[in-house]
Amino acid sequence: MVTRDEVLKALGTVQDPELRRDLVSAGMIDDVQITDGRVQFELILTTPACPLRAQLRDAAKAAVEQISGVKEVAVKVGSRVTSHRAQEQEDVLPQVSNVIAVASGKGGVGKSTVAVNLAVALAEFGAKVGLLDADIYGPTIPAMMGVNERPKMMDGKIVPIEQHGVKLMSLGFMLNGSPVIWRGPMVAGAVKQMLTDVNWGELDYLIVDLPPGTGDAQLTLAQVVPLTGVVVVTTSQDVALNIASNAASMFSKMNVPILGIVENMSFFICPGCGYRTDIFSHGGGDKAAQITGAPLLGRLPLEPETVEDGDAGSPTVAGRPESEQAEAFRTLASRIAARVSSLDQEECPVLIERGGV
């Protein structure tokens, strides 16, 4: 007779390399059933975007198959995203597990493109995702997500528009192309209102596309809602790198973990001959990672089709799902989700102040 204790003991030998704990002690095993040598259990991942899904499933199955008397093993894979934000008595987003800011030191580095495709990729994996456009002066999310309508009101709350499986909110939905000519306090008020007056509902991840720089929107976001962490987008050129380091430094001073660095437009592959060109020099992402102490999450190539996708309102992950660029965004989303899941197991690096940074 195969016993439940034997199954759990076997599964206790399987380690999750991201959490650095075994599956049993990490609470990732549930609903163990044993019938005539046939074992069935559920493997509960910490995120539906887990990059180690197949590896953990196969390792768990193999471990149980080694038990004497086991004839067959069936593994059901699910996920449960937990909150990795600081708990506050008056949390303005109590149903949102994780708030991830996407930031950059300067404009033109493709931050919004990264934010949009990150949100769509996480939703594609099966997560509940929201995307907040906090760039008050230059909202681009409506156009990049292909939305041209005003959100509705229900029970005194704004109902976010849903597109590509992602809940959206942007001031651009109300502007009709009109420019925003506001002073700082009004910008801060608009960001706060889009956080508190929108019925976001239950979300695993709320992605916030910040304006470039270190201004009122960034300060308001960090002060109003506890952030899970920030992803800093940069190109490899020295100007972008130095300003990106300043953006990371600001969040670090506000005790916001830096999840990692994304080097966007890292290189260009000629479609005709396949020759690779480093448009903005080489190694900037590694340098930024070294300065911040956070990992380089990925290098994304410069691809004209990605720009065209955004202009057409069809993010690459949704519009060209089989493309290499879409797969690169999915890999990036998996790495960010893994970083979020491991925050409780290891200290996420924040920027250490150094002279000249």
Question: Tell me, what's the pLDDT at 350?
Answer: 40
Q: Give the helix, strand, coil percentages of the chain, each rounded to 5.
A: 35, 25, 45
Residues 127 and 61 placed together within one structural domain of the fold: no
Q: How far is Cα 188 from Cα 50, in angstroms, rounded to an integer?
A: 35
User: Residue type at 78?
Assistant: G
For residue 39, the domain's CATH number is 3.30.300.130
The position carrying tokens 């437009």 is 265
Q: How many domains does the chain have?
A: 2
**Quick one: what percent of the chain has pLDDT higher than 70?**
93
- Give, in degrees to the nearest 5, the angle at Cα 101 between 46 and 173: 115
Q: How far is Cα 86 from Cα 255, in angstroms, rounded to an integer?
A: 11
Q: How far is Cα 27 from Cα 82, in angstroms, rounded to an integer?
A: 12
Residues 70 and 102 placed together within one structural domain of the fold: no
Residue 47 lies in a domain: yes
Residues 39 and 150 placed together within one structural domain of the fold: no
Residue 199 lies in a domain: yes
Report pLDDT digits (tens) over 174-221: 877 667 777 778 888 888 899 999 999 999 999 999 988 777 888 888
Residues 159 and 67 placed together within one structural domain of the fold: no
Residue 304 lies in a domain: yes
Report pLDDT digits (tens) over 13-54: 999 998 889 999 999 999 999 999 999 999 999 999 999 999
**Residue 268: pLDDT above 80?**
yes
Helices (H), 265-323: 284-292, 304-311, 316-319
Residue 351 lies in a domain: no
Question: Tell me, what's the pLDDT at 177?
Answer: 67
Name the residue with higher pLDDT: 354 or 165: 165
Residues 274 and 166 placed together within one structural domain of the fold: yes
**Residue 346: pLDDT above 60?**
no
Question: Tell me, what's the pLDDT at 142?
Answer: 93
Residues 59 and 139 placed together within one structural domain of the fold: no
For residue 185, the domain's CATH number is 3.40.50.300
- Please give the average per-residue pLDDT across 7-18, as a whole number: 95
Q: Are 263 and 235 in contact (CB under 8 A)?
A: yes
Residues 25 and 174 placed together within one structural domain of the fold: no
Its domain, for residue 29, covers 4-79
Confidence band, pLDDT 50/70/90 cuts, at residue 353: very low
The domain boundary residue, chosen from 31, 48, 79: 79
- Please give the average per-residue pLDDT across 264-268, as a whole number: 86
Residue 40 lies in a domain: yes
Residues 143 and 253 placed together within one structural domain of the fold: yes
Strands (E), the chain: 15-16, 21-22, 29-35, 38-45, 72-79, 96-103, 129-133, 152-154, 157-159, 161-163, 166-170, 203-209, 229-234, 258-263, 268-269, 276-277, 296-299
Name the residue with higher pLDDT: 277 or 56: 56
Residue 297 lies in a domain: yes
User: Residue type at 166?
Assistant: V
Residue 228 lies in a domain: yes
